[in-house]
């Protein structure tokens, strides 16, 4: 079964022309992710990447409804489908959107059950209001020149009583600071968030729950104790975890 919900409205070109205020405000991407599509998932096969992935998914899982069987989830900026597979495994019917055609090719090759993928600008999502039970964007807003516009569109597509979930890279984490200092092309123009900035971005849409996770030094020697360090840091709500998680009940 695909991710497009039964009864969902996919806007036609003529309908989209009536939404010029959305289409003209492209949320795009500050980086050409087509160029890294084939190698993008390599991070998750490295020991440090595996640990970050584990802790990030644990943090997101705590925010997801359970059971979620049949719930409709919109994933904005789905990339290669790495998180799409996670959401589908938890019972969601996933509709993934991305502006990168090459990333979507990689996602479709994975043949993720209960997931379908569409190419779209996140600033003009081609679905009708109130279509999804949950809208998610994981490490997406940092790479959009119009993050507020992306959030507005996600909220529009989620039903009243649904949820908005955002994962973002923390500007004040060790890894966040390191990425900016190294000046890799993918991160040069990205805008990482602080806890306060992510809270402010989401606060217009309901009560916000924002916290940091994946709080450990990205060294292989530290991996055995990383979960313990992260739990301790989360317990006292330290703001220095690499991954920020925000939730809004709409």
Tens of pLDDT, residues 127-157:
999 999 999 999 999 999 999 999 999 999 9
Residue 19 — very low, low, confident or very high, per pLDDT cuts 50/70/90? very low
Which candidate, 101, 133, 134, places its Cα nearest to that of 118? Answer: 101
Structure tokens at 206: 């309901």
Domain span including residue 208: 13-249
Given a cut of 60, is residue 21 above it in pLDDT?
A: no
Q: What is the C-alpha separation between 128 and 187, in angstroms, rounded?
A: 33
d(CA 127, CA 233): 39
Report whether pLDDT(2) > 70.
no
The pLDDT value recorded for residue 175 is 85
Q: How confident is the model at residue 238 (pLDDT cuts 50, 70, 90)?
A: confident
Q: Work out the average pLDDT over 168-188.
A: 85
Residue-wise pLDDT for 241-250, tens only, equals: 999 999 999 9
Q: Are 164 and 196 in contact (CB under 8 A)?
A: no
pLDDT tier at 176 (50, 70, 90 boundaries)?
A: confident
pLDDT for residue 172 is more than 60: yes
Within a domain: 4: no
β-strand pairing of 208-213 with 243-249: antiparallel
**25 has pLDDT over 80:** no
- Quote the CA–CA distance of 40 and 76 in Å, as a whole number: 17
7 found inside a domain: no
Q: Determine, yes or no, domain membership for 5.
A: no
Report DSSP state, residue 59.
H
Q: Is residue 17's pLDDT more than 80? A: no
Q: What is the pLDDT of residues 53-96, one digit of tens each?
A: 999 999 999 999 887 788 999 999 999 999 999 999 999 999 99
- Looking at every residue in the chain, the average pLDDT score rounds to 87
Cα–Cα distance measured from residue 167 to residue 171, given in angstroms and rounded to the nearest whole number: 13
Q: Is residue 3 part of a domain?
A: no
Q: Is the pLDDT of residue 185 over 50?
A: yes
Decide: helix, strand or coil at residue 131.
Answer: coil
Long-range contacts of 66-69 (CB under 8 A, 24+ apart): 66/90, 67/91, 68/92
Q: Is the pTM of this model over 0.75?
A: yes
CB 242 within 8 A of CB 170: yes
Residue 95 is encoded by which pair of tokens?
Answer: 């509709």
Please state the domain count of the chain: 1
Q: Grade residue 240 by pLDDT with cuts at 50, 70 and 90.
A: confident
Q: What is the pLDDT of residue 61?
A: 95
Give the model's confidence band at 217: pLDDT under 50 very low, under 70 low, under 90 confident, else very high. confident
8 is a domain residue: no
Q: What is the CATH number of the domain that holds 122?
A: 3.40.50.150
Q: Please report whether residue 1 resides in a domain.
A: no
CA distance 115 to 92: 8
* pLDDT at 236 (0 to 100): 66
């Amino acid at each position: 079964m695909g991710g497009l919900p039964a009864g969902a409205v996919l806007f036609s070109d003529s309908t989209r022309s009536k939404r010029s205020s959305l289409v003209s405000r492209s949320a795009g991407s500050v980086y050409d992710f087509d160029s890294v599509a084939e190698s993008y998932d390599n991070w998750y096969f490295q020991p440090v990447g595996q640990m970050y992935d584990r802790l990030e998914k644990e943090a997101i899982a705590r925010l997801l409804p359970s059971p979620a069987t049949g719930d409709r989830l919109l994933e904005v900026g789905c990339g290669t489908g790495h998180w799409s597979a996670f959401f589908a495994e938890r019972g969601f019917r996933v509709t993934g959107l991305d502006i990168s055609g090459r990333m979507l090719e990689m996602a479709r090759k994975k043949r993720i059950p209960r997931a379908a993928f569409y190419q779209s600008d996140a600033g003009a999502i081609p679905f009708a209001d109130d279509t999804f039970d949950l809208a998610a964007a994981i490490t997406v807003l940092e790479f959009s020149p119009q993050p507020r516009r992306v959030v507005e569109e996600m909220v529009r597509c989620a039903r009243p009583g649904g949820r908005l979930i955002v994962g973002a890279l923390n500007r004040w984490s060790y890894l966040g600071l390191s990425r900016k200092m190294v000046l890799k092309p993918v991160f040069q123009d990205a805008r990482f968030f602080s806890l306060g900035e992510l809270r402010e971005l989401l606060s217009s849409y309901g009560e916000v729950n924002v916290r940091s996770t994946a709080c450990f030094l990205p060294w292989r020697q530290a991996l055995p104790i990383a979960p313990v360090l992260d739990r301790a840091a989360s317990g006292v709500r330290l703001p220095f975890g690499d991954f920020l998680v925000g939730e809004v009940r709409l």
